[in-house]
Chains A and B, each alone.
Chain A
Amino acid sequence: MKNVGKLLIIIIAGLAVLIPFASTYPDGLEKVAESLGVKESQPLWEGLMPDYTLHTVDNPYLTKLISGLTGIIIVFLTAYGIGAVISRRNTNS
């Protein structure tokens, strides 16, 4: 568990440092759609933080960092919970 805490801090610190360097170019699939003239339609479900931004935070760095941080915590807890359910009968090895 101690290692896991350390790793989480490294992940969050890594994200905080690397966000400004992340490319904002379209990814492979977006590029293909763009070059073929296919436009992304309105999603069926907007999500709470569409495209990793918060409506309430304008600063592009902070909005991505806060939504990323929130996502990391949600993913961590969900995976922890599901992992615990799957492995509840397994004790050793």
Chain B
Amino acid sequence: MHIPDGFLDPAICVLMYAVSICFLAWAWIGAKKTLSRLFVPLVAVSSALVFAGQMLNFPIIHGTSGHLIGGTFLAVLLGPHAAIISMSIVLLIQAVFFADGGISAFGANVFNMAVIGGLSFYIVKLFSGAYPLSRKRFFVGVFIASWLSTVLGALACGLQIGFSQVFAQAGGVAVTVPAMLFWHLIIGIGEATITTSLTAQFIRVKPSMLRGLTMLREVTP
């Protein structure tokens, strides 16, 4: 879902940069309050895991593939603030070193994957209910949140490209939004499956590592 250079109008690039910078500031301030030094190694290693995961495309149908985004995974592991920062670092390094996602579209890519992914924390929270957490409800929440974050990211991406000149002749948003949603309804199932199994593994090995899970138990803004 990484938007390359040349797909978006300059105005949309600027708008998405502005929106994403606001969310990054919110995430930075929030992480400053909540991120413990003890969790820094976990932030680093989970970012590395998401980077590696994004390299591994899985085939879906009709010669199309998808890959893990990992926003919900990071959100459950690190909480929403650190998740947004972590995913933005991954996206920045992909753009700078690997030409995966354009520099001009970086703001849009941060919004579609890092911001929506990080905020999917609140969907998990909604489903999990109050403490004590029910395991079943938590995992249902993780599954739905990760699926939904992929679909909503695709919707945002469909709108951004659809309102840009390059896609205008092809039919604009009336074509790009349904097309993006169609593929990502399916890709989202892969996202949800991988996220739920990864989260289950982490909980099995070391539940105390899940900062996000702890935050779910606390009253968080």
Partner among B45, B66, B102 whose Cβ is within 8 Å of the Cβ of A76:
B45
Chain A: minimal CB distance from B59 (Å) = 4
Q: A28-B154, A84-B37 are in contact. Are A36 and B52 (CB under 8 A)?
A: no
Chain B residues near A35: list those with CB within 8 A. 179
8 Å CB interface, A57-93 against B: 64, 67-68, 70-80, 82-84, 86-93
Q: Is the interface of A mostly helix, strand, loop or mixed?
A: helix
User: How many contacts A-B (CB < 8 Å)?
Assistant: 209
Number of interface residues of B (CB under 8 A): 71
The reply to whether B98 and A90 contact each other, CB–CB distance below 8 Å, is: no
The reply to whether B43 and A72 contact each other, CB–CB distance below 8 Å, is: no
Chain B residues near A88: list those with CB within 8 A. 37
Binding site for A on B (CB under 8 A): 1-7, 28, 31-33, 35-37, 39-45, 47-49, 51-52, 55-59, 62-67, 82, 85-86, 89-90, 92-100, 102-104, 154, 157-158, 161, 166-167, 170-171, 175-176, 179-180, 183-184, 187, 206, 209
